[in-house]
Amino acid sequence: MPLIAITGGIGAGKSAVAARFQALGAEVLDTDHLAHGLYQPASPAWQAMLHHWGQDILSPDHTIDRQKVAAIVFSSHEELLWLNGLLHPQLKEILRRRTVATPGLLFCAIPLLFESGWQDEVAAVIAVWCDPDTQRERLLARGWSPTQIQARLAEQLPMDEKLLRSDYGIISCCSWQNLFLQCDYLYRLLQMR
């Protein structure tokens, strides 16, 4: 059955859209959450990261400290490419297996869909969009510094570009009611197609 990608810039509202699709009965995945699952101690990815970056990336309980990894990869494009090269093939395989096993539509939040060249792997792409001021407010509310925000935005296509490349768009800088109306309409439309 088809895999539908939900993409958009950081802080765009992808999680809210995915949660609404799930509330409507869809099966929903998130590549960020799947990637965190690959970080488990003694996993192949954990071992590769430890070999590549050393013990400094570990928390006291020997799990990968994702904040330390983020500090490394968002200060060096080469390190980000290395991490993506490690995780992306594993994530693609997980998505392939889940797509085959899902009887209906499978929605997956894939923030870096276009940046990673995954758009040909999905049946349709939904871009979640908000204006830059709303995006910045949301990220500051997460406790991110302006430097952290800028580092992450530098690694992503602008939201306008993602919206232009997508099959469908959802505008998230609105009331919850309006967001849900957009999601509900699009969910029904995709089910019919």
SS3 174: coil
98 pLDDT above the threshold of 90? yes
- The yes-or-no verdict on residue 73 having pLDDT over 80 is yes
pLDDT value at residue 155? 86
Show the CA angle centred on residue 97, arms to residues 15 and 182, nearest 5°: 30
Query: Sheet containing 124-129: which strands, arranged edge to edge?
Result: 27-30, 106-109, 3-8, 124-129, 168-171
Given a cut of 90, whether residue 158 has pLDDT beyond it is yes
pLDDT at 56: 94
Residue 62 has pLDDT above 80, yes or no: yes
Q: Domain spans of the chain?
A: 3-188
- The arithmetic mean of pLDDT across residues 38-62, rounded, is 93
The tokens describing 123, both together, are 């049946």
The arithmetic mean of pLDDT across residues 105-132, rounded, is: 95
Q: Is residue 1 over pLDDT 80?
A: no
Confidence (pLDDT) at 193: 79
Mean confidence (pLDDT) of the chain: 94
CA distance 130 to 132: 7
105's tokens: 């539509």
- CA 134, 138, 139, 145 dihedral sign is positive
The CATH T-level fold of domain 3-188 is: Rossmann fold (3.40.50)
pLDDT band at 104 (very low <50, low <70, confident <90, very high): confident
The C-alpha atoms of residue 67 and residue 75 are separated, in whole angstroms, by 12
- Mapping DSSP to helix (H, G, I), strand (E, B) and coil, where does residue 80 land? helix
